Amino acid sequence: MTQNLSPILQAADLPALIQSEKIILIDATNSKNAKENYAKRHLKGTLFVDLNTQLADIKSDLSEGGRHPLPTLDNFSKTLAELGISPASHVVIYDETNGSNAAARFWWMLKAVGHEKAQVLDGGLEEAERHGFPVTEGIETAAKTELYPIERWILPIADLAEVEAVSTNPSHLVIDVRDHDRYLGKTEPIDLVAGHIPGAVNVPYSENLDEQGFLLSPEELQTKYQGIFDGKDSENIIVHCGSGVTACHTLLAIASAGLEIPKLYVGSWSEWSRNDMPMATG
């Protein structure tokens, strides 16, 4: 049954779900004053997870892994234990960007260590509140559990060398999910250099959402990404963004469509642009 669990949870289903089984709710918002805002207002029972300290291992040299490299398996195991997450836990995650930022990253990381019951809450806090889920303030305390058993990342990951080798190969596909102006090189608000990886195609992650900010239906997403993939196998498709975070929203959308999850280039543009690699604009 868990193998068929949708990666997306509709907010209307949350109140009944939390009555039927123990759910671990996570606020993974990544923004200025995120934890302070969480303390002021969050869904009742929700724990907070921090992208920079718990879902990444940020190094002083961003040319090694970019802005948000993955944490070590040992550290991620400790983070899950501190949140009370065991292999049997049902984890529901939201953030303030309708799941398109660190909520999707945390979902991908859970799936990447083999966790079965992980979902992103469509519409986030506001939509759950609209459906009657209680909101509260303060800091929630987790019931810590044993270290989560992790052997390896089981979802496919690409590194800089692989991206360099295949980015212009017509049998492969590199997808850049950043907004169009960043891809074109017209602007770069975060990293040092503007532009994109030669050969990469631009499919902004924001286009996974409808006008109300909800994820498109599985049918719409399947049609969209089957057209983009053009018959290529998932093993020949690499998805990246600025630092390996919002790319996970596209991987979430692809999973919601019932398609195989392609490779994530974790270092993304933040690593590529700091390594004297070829770059393109326009």
Query: Cα–Cα distance between 155 and 255 in angstroms, integer?
Result: 12
On the 0-12 / 13-18 / 19+ scale of CB atoms within 10 A, 221 is buried
Cβ–Cβ < 8 Å for 194, 179: no
End-to-end CA distance of the chain: 46
Active site residues: 241
173 conformational bin, left if phi > 0, alpha if psi -120 to 50, beta if neither: beta
Eight-state DSSP code of residue 260 = P
| b/e map 18-36, b = 16+ CB within 10 Å | beeeebbbbbbbbeeebee
